[in-house]
Structure 1
Amino acid sequence: MTFVQTVALFWALVCTAGVAAVLCGTKHPLLNALKSAGCGAAALGAVNLLAGFTGVTIALNYATSFVAVVLGAPGVVLLLLARVWVLF
């Protein structure tokens, strides 16, 4: 495993642990996790569906799917900001 893969795996685990810690403090953690994952997947799909109008796309792969499902809609916004940052 390369250094970049190790760092990416570390941050994925940190994000997952952070989301799990926040969800454990809610009244219905599983339901809230499913709602957040659904909103993230829907936001990722909406960005790609509107790509013809906006010209902005996010590649659909394991990394972007993980970010969208674990972090939800704010994760998709982070992906969009990263995409804009890379373009400029």
Structure 2
Amino acid sequence: MASKSFTLDDLKRTLREAAGVAEGVDLDGDILDTEFEVIGYESLALLEAGSLIEREYGISLDEEAVGEANTPRSFIEVVNAQVAPAKAA
């Protein structure tokens, strides 16, 4: 069960684990509102990241919402929408 909210650092760690980092991409830069395609991640990588997050946090993510999340900020919001109820349980 999650004990804190999901952060940008959590997302970067998960993306690295799920799909690595594309050459020339700086995940430590200002990427919060950068589209995933620009930083080298396609939908398959995001679905894999979502699966890792589900296992780690014990939550279930809406695949459609994950697919529509086109920036790190929107992806984090999707995850935190599920983490918050899990914390309250």
Q: Normalised by the size of structure 2, how large is the TM-score?
A: 0.39
- Larger % of helix: which? 1
Q: Normalised by the size of structure 1, how large is the TM-score?
A: 0.40
Relative contact order (alpha carbons < 8 A, sep ≥ 6): 1 or 2 greater? Answer: 2
